[in-house]
Every structure is written in C-alpha cells, then in structure tokens.
Amino acid sequence: MNDFLKLHTANAVAQIEGYTPGEQPSDGNWVKLNTNEFPYPPSPKVREAILDELGGDGAKLRLYPDPISKNLRSKIGKFFGLSAENVIAGNGSDDILNLAVRAFSDPDKPILSLDPSYSLYPVLAKIQNSEFIELPFGDSMDIPFEKISSSRANIFFFTNPNAPTGVGFSKSDVERILNEFGGLVLVDEAYAPFAEFSASELVDKYPNLIVAGTTSKGWGLAGMRIGWGLANPDIINILDRVRDSYNLDRLAQAAGMAAFSDNEYYGNLCGIIKDTRDKTELFFESVGWKYFKSSSNFILVTPKNKNGKSGRDVADEFFKYLKSIKILVRYFPNCPAVCDSVRISVGTPEQMILLQNAVKDWISL
Ligand SMILES: *Cc1c(COP(=O)(O)O)cnc(C)c1O
C-alpha cells in the first residue's frame, strides 16, 4: 500500500485480506467440482422469464428495478410457508450475511462462528471492526453448545449444513442454540436443498433467528446472485435500513420468481444430486478414504495414497494431480482443521465416474 493510501484507508480495512473465492477458469473444458454449483441448467422457465423481462429491445432496463423486490419476497415467503414481511431479498446470500453484520455487529461484542466454517464471516466481521471468534467443533463434528451459550457474542453464524464438511445438524440442535445463546443466530442454509431439515420452519417461533438462503447452490443460479433472509418482521425492517436501495436487478428478480415457480423441476434434480452424492460416498468407502457423511451437494474427503498415508502433503498432491487432468476441486491448505482433505462438489453421474476413475488411477500410480 502506498503512503497516500496508508494515510487514508480505514484501519479495519488496511488490516484484512479479502475473501478468496474458488477458481472460475475462463475456458470451458474443466470438470468443475470446486464451488458447489448446481451441475444442471436452471429451470427452462428461468430463461424464458429473463428473455421476457428483456423484451424485444431491452427498453425496460432503462427503468430502475423494484427497490424492495416485493413480488419475489412474497414468492419466497410462500415457498417457505411464511409471509412477505418475513423475507428480505439479497444480491446473493452473501449480501444478507453482510447486511446482518452491518446491522447487528457491535464494536464491544464479538461475532461468533465455528471452525471450520464459511471463510467469508471473519472478513465481514473485521471490516466492521468487530472481534471474530471461532470455536472448534469436537472430533466427530459435535457442536460446542456450552461454549456457544456462554459466549458474549452479538451474532452467531451457524452454517447448516456445515461448509466445508457437509455435515447437517438437526432441528433439536438448532433449537438448543436458539434457546441458549443470548444474541442473534444466523443460520446459513446455502445447502439446505440437499438436507433433511431447514430452520425456516422456526422463524415464527424464535425472534432471534435469521435464516439465510440462496439460489446459487440448489437452484442453478449462482450467476444471477439471488439470496434471501427469513426472520421476524422487526429484524427484516432493520436489515432493510442498511440494504442497497436496488440490490436485485430486474433480471435477477424475474429469474428468482421463475425459479420458485418450478418446484417439481428442482425437487427432481436435487433428488438426483443426493443420489449421486450417496453413490460417490460409497465409492470413497470402497477405497477406504475417510469422509464426513454429507447433507450437502459436496463431500469433504481425506485422500489416502497407495502407501496408506494421508495428510496435508497427500491432499496437496491429489489436488494437483486432479488439476493436471482438468478436474478442479477445492483444497484448503491454510485451514488446519481440514488441510488433509479436499472438498468435491457433487456433479452429474458422468462427472463422478470421471472423478472415480481419476482416484483409481492416482492410487495405482
Ligand atoms: C455459497 C455459500 C454462500 C453464498 O451464496 P451466494 O448466494 O452465492 O452469495 C453462503 N454461505 C455458504 C455457507 C455458502 O457455501
């Protein structure tokens, strides 16, 4: 940073590194299993709705979009059995996470999360001058309930299912946190379409709950940036105060409406993805690689080389081997809790066969 910027950059910002997203290679010949995108196109209704909104000459783009995404909020509300007043729409769910930190962080109280978890949380907290605390999971990914409830934190980010482990937690786990923790609980449900349980059914019951969701993982629309927060109307009102006035553009609002109009399409494909996931887990079992039973559309697995060894170097070697044959997965060398593992998104059955063949080839190298 040059001297001029040293003098003028906000202290909190000068001290952080930004979030590092997964790679998005620009050429198309990769088996891309690194960012948990949906392996199928979105519903054909989405494409139609976008073209419709665009019209013959794109003239509607002259006009600002609906600032509060009113129709989309009620559509999302209906999907979750809630009313529009319980919903805020976001430019992806990262927008919702950011709004929650902006609205509810407090310089005197930390923001809490578990380790491992989504690595965007600490970045958002630090930008806002908040202390950030990560409590480690137990060895079998058990939740440190007592430590959570005795924490002084103002917000607790709980990723369910967890990323990057894929482990899903039950209704009673989530309710125990909601009952015992003294601050706001944000349940980040990016992967809920692949899980057994969603905390959306608890929104009416708990005034300290925010559920964040996204079309990026379960609706094939990561490229459109559509997310939501579900909470009681008082919380929604506060989040709206810090929201960008036009946070969803016209095409995103139209696409989101259409996505939530084709539940049959998505129910079917999420079923196929879960089935593909379970079969891929059985494969890892057959080669003796450890993994966490996933409730998501990805699997965190610990590669074991032909000498039976695992660890950071082995994971690194496996990651690089896959990359050399154009299979991209995610590897977290700087996260001690999971640096012996790689996170593999569940793709199509065909992609998973390519992956399995790559594993077999690598073991016998
Ligand atoms: C992908 C992901 C998000 C972000 O989703 P967007 O809607 O694309 O911003 C949030 N939380 C977790 C845990 C994720 O994996």
> For residues 50, 55, 61 and 66, what is the CA-based torsion angle, rounded to 10 degrees?
-60
Q: What is the pLDDT of residue 242?
A: 97
Q: Provide the Cα torsion 227, 230, 231, 237; round to 10°.
A: 50
Whether the CB-CB separation of 362 and 318 falls below 8 Å is answered with: yes
Q: How far apart are CA 28 and CA 234, in angstroms?
A: 45
Distance of CA 43 to CAs 215, 264, 267, 351, Å?
Answer: 12, 10, 11, 21
User: 92: Cβ below 6 Å to ligand 1?
Assistant: yes
Residue 163 CB less than 6 A away from ligand 1: yes
The residue whose CA is least distant from atom 1 of ligand 1 is 190
232 CB near ligand 1 (under 6 Å)? no
**For ligand 1, atom 2: residue with the closest CA:** 190
pLDDT recorded at residue 27: 85
Tell me the backbone φ, ψ of residue 196, rounded to 5 degrees. -90, -25
Cβ neighbours around 176 below 10 Å, total: 16
E strand spans, 5-110: 31-32, 87-90
> Where in the chain is CATH 3.90.1150.10?
22-41+264-364
Let me know if 5 is exposed, middle or buried by CB neighbors in 10 A (0-12, 13-18, 19+): exposed
| Cα distance from N-terminal residue to C-terminal residue, the chain | 46
Q: Which CATH number fits domain 44-261: 3.30.870.10, 3.40.50.2000, 3.40.640.10, 3.40.50.300?
A: 3.40.640.10
Taking the CA of residue 95 as reference, the ligand 1 atom at the shortest distance is 9
Query: Which residue's CA is the nearest one to ligand 1's atom 5?
Result: 93
Cβ of residue 216 lying under 6 Å from some atom of ligand 1: yes
Q: Which residue has the tokens 């125990």?
A: 176
In this structure, what are the phi and psi dihedrals at residue 115, rounded to the nearest 5 degrees? -120, 120
Ligand 1 mean position to 340 CA, how many Å? 23
Atom index in ligand 1 nearest the CA of residue 227 equals 7
Token pair in block for residue 322 = 């896959």
Q: What is the pLDDT along the chain (365 residues), one digit of tens a residue?
A: 899 998 999 888 888 888 888 888 888 889 999 999 999 999 999 999 999 999 999 999 999 999 999 999 999 999 999 999 999 999 999 999 999 999 999 989 999 999 999 999 999 999 999 999 999 999 889 999 999 999 999 999 999 999 999 999 999 999 999 999 999 999 999 999 999 999 999 999 999 999 999 999 999 999 999 999 999 999 999 999 999 999 999 999 999 999 999 999 999 999 999 999 999 999 999 999 999 999 999 999 999 999 999 999 999 999 999 999 999 999 999 889 899 999 999 999 999 999 999 999 999 97
Which helix or strand (DSSP H or E) is residue 286 part of? helix 263-286
Q: Which of 63, 114, 97 shows the shortest CA–CA distance to 253?
A: 63
At 147-171, the pLDDT tens digits run 999 999 999 999 999 999 999 999 9
Peptide bond into 349 cis (omega under 30): no
What is the C-alpha to C-alpha distance for residues 26 and 160, in angstroms, rounded to an integer?
A: 31
Closest-CA residue to 68 (of 92, 93, 87, 95): 87
Q: What residue ranges of the chain are covered by domains with CATH 3.40.640.10? A: 44-261
CATH class for the region spanning 22-41+264-364: alpha beta
The two structure tokens encoding residue 190: 């990016």
Question: Among 346, 277, 353, 252, which Cα is nearest to 37's?
Answer: 346
CB of residue 273 inside a 6 A radius of ligand 1: no
Q: Which two tokens stand for residue 28?
A: 């198309």
